[in-house]
């Protein structure tokens, strides 16, 4: 990979051969030697892992390695004598086996979750764990499955390990093996070979074998052009996984009007994944959260970062994580992270993240959302691979507060409606995109009347003016754009309350993505004062209502940094429509101990301002 300075960037490829395999296998070996009774390996690659385990067992002088599957029973069973061993008898066999042994079970997870069999299997495994621990023999059960589904009751007995996909060293081995077995010729220069190996990151051993085999099949040689072919194949494979999507790098910073502070922040970090940056003592950036009004360039910015940093862009479809289409939600999240890490350095784009995590607050999914969310946050906190996360959100009130805590993201940017200078740039960009010279238009005047319009609306205005021009056999001009602006009702009119609330929130908790208004987290935050408990009588008389309300409002003002939860904007609107501040105040106070929703609080203040 070439970085922005044009330097050849090899640091991420500087693994020694089979590096990760050795590390993870050493860990497993240690567990076996320490008599850990049950190890659960999370992976799709049972063949590859079985090979590694056999090798490892041989090094430990353990000859007794058996594999079991529901369809085949044990690999050494004579099926002519009867049906394959059922899972319980298979476990009994392991218990009775009076010699050192590694017992590999494929896809055992359904038995541990199935209602009818669950208690029997869990108990059996626990008995086995106790017996293995107490015995002087070295015996370990290894469960290999693509789903991490260990029931709570087994947590203390089972060690769960996420088995990584092959790294560059192992891919190199497969490459050499392909060359050898096919007799193909490699015409790759050392740097092209590095690129080719890197292009295969993120794939399983079988997938890598297949793409390499496909690459040599037509002319029995591997050349630089095959790198593109492998990237394309990988794109297809990742797409088939249904969760991550490869995005073509087509937008650039120049196609974003305004948002200068954000662009500058990102430009400053464009080489921050390099070896030089590490040597200099810089930490690797984790990611940013872009919050703001729909259609103002959040997604556009995510795409542009990837192009500017020259890194692949992977879009994670949060909806599909929970969609139950491909597998369990937690497994989906884990898999997405694994694939993103294996193709790193990369940009992982999570679009409209609040949509995925909204279920958390309703509590209607028996904790699945919060577990998925926990997996993601823990990864964000601990990640040591260069995966830069760009998360975007329109409605911050739906995001769990943990998300917004300092330290998760490097920065939270607020993307506001464009200011006139930015509108000018946006109009110019969209005219240029359609081969018109911005110089021919009165951008100054147009920018003034388009205040309050989003970038997406401005783009649509240009497009509809072009239609008008085409229809009337003229070319687009300032007057046509002016008319289109006047005919469009901007979103900001219908979303006034939400936008005001979002801005208030952003003023204290985010950086403004546009230079003109950069204040945000640079500002001193007001100190948090403790919130005195308010007590509401069940019945209010008018005087009590008035007193309570003014006291409440005072408290709200004093506690601007206090966090509030569960006041939905809809409910507030309803109460306010009925002019029922009291109920609102009472409800808010009741819920305040849950805390943790600043935006609800800001919305509340914004609404109060509007109606009072």
Q: Please, which residue, 37 or 287, has the CB nearer to ligand ATP?
A: 287
Select the span of 34-42, 295-303, 380-388, 557-565 touching ligand ATP (CB under 6 A).
Answer: 295-303
Is residue 514 a contact residue for ligand ATP (CB under 6 A)? no
Is residue 392 a contact residue for ligand ATP (CB under 6 A)? yes
| SS3 letters across 347-400 | EEEECCHHHHHCHHHHCCCCCHHHHHHHHHHHHHHHCCCCEEEEEEECCHHHCC
First to last CA, the chain: 58
Q: Please, which residue, 455 or 520, has the CB nearer to ligand ATP?
A: 455
Numbers of helices and strands, H then E, in the chain: 28, 15
Which residues 6+ apart lie within 8 Å of 451 measured at CB? 417, 419, 420, 423
Is residue 394 a contact residue for ligand ATP (CB under 6 A)? yes
Taking Cα atoms as reference points, which of 558, 533, 548, 554 lies closest to residue 585?
548
Is residue 345 a contact residue for ligand ATP (CB under 6 A)? no
Select the span of 66-74, 136-144, 252-260, 474-482 touching ligand ATP (CB under 6 A).
Answer: 252-260
Enter the tokens of residue 61: 């002088």
Is residue 356 a contact residue for ligand ATP (CB under 6 A)? no
Enter the tokens of residue 590: 């009741």
State the Cα–Cα distance between residues 424 and 323, nearest whole angstrom: 41
Q: Please, which residue, 426 or 563, has the CB nearer to ligand ATP?
A: 426
Q: Please, which residue, 65 or 458, has the CB nearer to ligand ATP?
A: 458
Whether 426 and 257 have beta carbons less than 8 Å apart is answered as yes
State the Cα–Cα distance between residues 65 and 54, nearest whole angstrom: 7
Question: Residue 174: is the preceding peptide bond cis (ω within 30°)?
Answer: no
Whether 13 and 107 have beta carbons less than 8 Å apart is answered as no
Task: Kindly state the smallest distance separating residue 405's Cβ from ligand ATP, in Å.
Answer: 23
Is residue 480 a contact residue for ligand ATP (CB under 6 A)? no
Give how many residues touch ligand ATP by CB under 6 A: 18
Task: Kindly state the smallest distance separating residue 565's Cβ from ligand ATP, in Å.
Answer: 24
Select the span of 14-22, 208-216, 288-296, 539-547 touching ligand ATP (CB under 6 A).
Answer: 288-296
State the Cα–Cα distance between residues 327 and 333, nearest whole angstrom: 10
State the Cα–Cα distance between residues 462 and 470, nearest whole angstrom: 12
Is residue 294 a contact residue for ligand ATP (CB under 6 A)? yes
Task: Kindly state the smallest distance separating residue 393's Cβ from ligand ATP, in Å.
Answer: 8
Taking Cα atoms as reference points, which of 493, 425, 416, 420 lies closest to residue 459?
425
Kind and range of the H or E element at 214?
A: helix 205-217
Task: Kindly state the smallest distance separating residue 260's Cβ from ligand ATP, in Å.
Answer: 10
Q: Please, which residue, 84 or 294, has the CB nearer to ligand ATP?
A: 294
Is residue 455 a contact residue for ligand ATP (CB under 6 A)? yes
Is residue 426 a contact residue for ligand ATP (CB under 6 A)? yes
Is residue 296 a contact residue for ligand ATP (CB under 6 A)? yes
Whether 239 and 294 have beta carbons less than 8 Å apart is answered as no
Among 299, 328, 329, 514, binds ligand ATP (CB under 6 A): 299
Is residue 516 a contact residue for ligand ATP (CB under 6 A)? no
Is residue 91 a contact residue for ligand ATP (CB under 6 A)? no
Q: Please, which residue, 42 or 293, has the CB nearer to ligand ATP?
A: 293
Is residue 300 a contact residue for ligand ATP (CB under 6 A)? yes
Is residue 259 a contact residue for ligand ATP (CB under 6 A)? yes
Select the span of 38-46, 250-258, 399-407, 603-611 touching ligand ATP (CB under 6 A).
Answer: 250-258
Whether 147 and 111 have beta carbons less than 8 Å apart is answered as no
- Phi and psi torsions of 260, nearest 5°: -65, -35
Among 60, 131, 456, 495, binds ligand ATP (CB under 6 A): 456
Q: Residues in the site for ligand ATP, rule: CB under 6 A?
A: 256-259, 294-300, 392, 394, 426, 429, 455-456, 459
């Amino acid at each position: 990979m070439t970085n922005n300075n044009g330097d050849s960037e090899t640091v991420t490829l500087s693994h020694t051969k089979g590096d990760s395999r050795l590390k993870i296998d050493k860990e497993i070996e240690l567990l076996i030697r320490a008599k850990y009774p049950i190890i659960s390996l999370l992976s799709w690659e049972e063949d590859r892992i079985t090979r590694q385990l056999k090798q490892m067992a041989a090094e430990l002088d353990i000859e007794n390695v058996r594999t079991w599957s529901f369809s085949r029973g044990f690999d050494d069973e004579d099926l002519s004598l009867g049906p394959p061993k059922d899972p319980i008898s298979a476990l009994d066999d392991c218990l009775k086996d009076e010699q050192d042994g590694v017992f590999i079970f494929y896809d055992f997870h359904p038995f541990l979750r199935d209602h009818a069999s669950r208690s029997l299997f869990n108990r059996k495994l626990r008995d086995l764990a106790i017996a293995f621990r107490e015995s002087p023999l070295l015996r370990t059960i290894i469960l290999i499955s693509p789903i991490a589904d260990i029931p709570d009751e087994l947590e203390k007995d089972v060690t769960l390990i996420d088995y990584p996909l092959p790294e560059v060293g192992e891919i190199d081995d497969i490459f050499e093996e392909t060359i050898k077995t096919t007799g193909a010729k490699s015409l790759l220069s050392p740097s092209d070979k590095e690129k080719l190996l890197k292009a295969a990151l993120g794939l399983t051993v079988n997938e890598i074998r297949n793409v390499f085999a496909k690459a040599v099949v037509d002319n029995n040689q591997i050349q630089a052009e095959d790198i593109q072919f492998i990237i394309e194949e990988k794109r297809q494979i990742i797409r088939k996984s249904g969760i991550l999507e490869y995005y073509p790098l087509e937008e650039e910073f120049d196609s974003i009007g305004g948002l200068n502070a954000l662009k500058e922040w990102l430009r400053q970090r464009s080489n921050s994944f390099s070896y030089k940056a590490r040597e200099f003592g810089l930490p690797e950036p984790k990611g940013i959260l872009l919050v703001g009004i729909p259609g103002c360039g959040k997604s556009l910015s995510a795409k542009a970062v990837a192009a500017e940093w020259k890194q692949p862009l992977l879009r994670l479809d949060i909806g599909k994580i929970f969609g139950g289409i491909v597998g369990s939600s937690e497994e989906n999240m884990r898999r997405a992270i694994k694939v993103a890490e294996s193709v790193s350095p990369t940009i992982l784009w999570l679009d409209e993240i609040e949509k995925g995590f909204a279920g958390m607050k309703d509590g209607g999914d028996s904790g699945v959302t919060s577990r998925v969310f926990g997996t993601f946050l823990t990864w964000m906190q601990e990640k040591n691979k260069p995966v830069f996360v760009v998360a975007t959100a329109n409605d911050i009130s739906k995001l769990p507060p943990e998300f917004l805590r300092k330290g998760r993201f490097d920065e939270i940017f607020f993307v506001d409606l464009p200011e006139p200078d930015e509108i000018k740039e946006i109009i110019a960009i969209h005219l240029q995109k359609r081969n018109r010279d911005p110089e021919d238009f009165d951008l100054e005047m147009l920018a003034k009347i388009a205040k309050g319009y989003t970038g997406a609306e401005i783009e649509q205005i240009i497009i509809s003016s072009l239609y008008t021009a085409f229809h009337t056999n003229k070319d687009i001009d300032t007057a046509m754009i002016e008319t289109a602006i006047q005919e469009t009702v901007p979103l900001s009119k219908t979303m006034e309350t939400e936008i005001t609330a979002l801005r208030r929130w952003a003023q204290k908790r985010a950086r403004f993505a546009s230079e003109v208004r950069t204040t945000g987290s640079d500002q001193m935050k007001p100190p948090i004062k403790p919130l005195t408990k308010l007590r509401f009588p069940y019945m209010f008389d008018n005087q009590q209502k008035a007193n309570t309300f003014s006291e409440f409002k005072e408290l709200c003002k004093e506690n601007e940094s206090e966090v509030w939860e569960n006041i939905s904007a809809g409910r507030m609107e309803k109460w306010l429509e009925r002019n029922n501040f009291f109920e609102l105040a009472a409800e808010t106070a009741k819920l305040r101990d849950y805390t943790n929703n600043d935006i609800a609080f800001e919305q509340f203040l914004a609404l109060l301002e509007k109606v009072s």
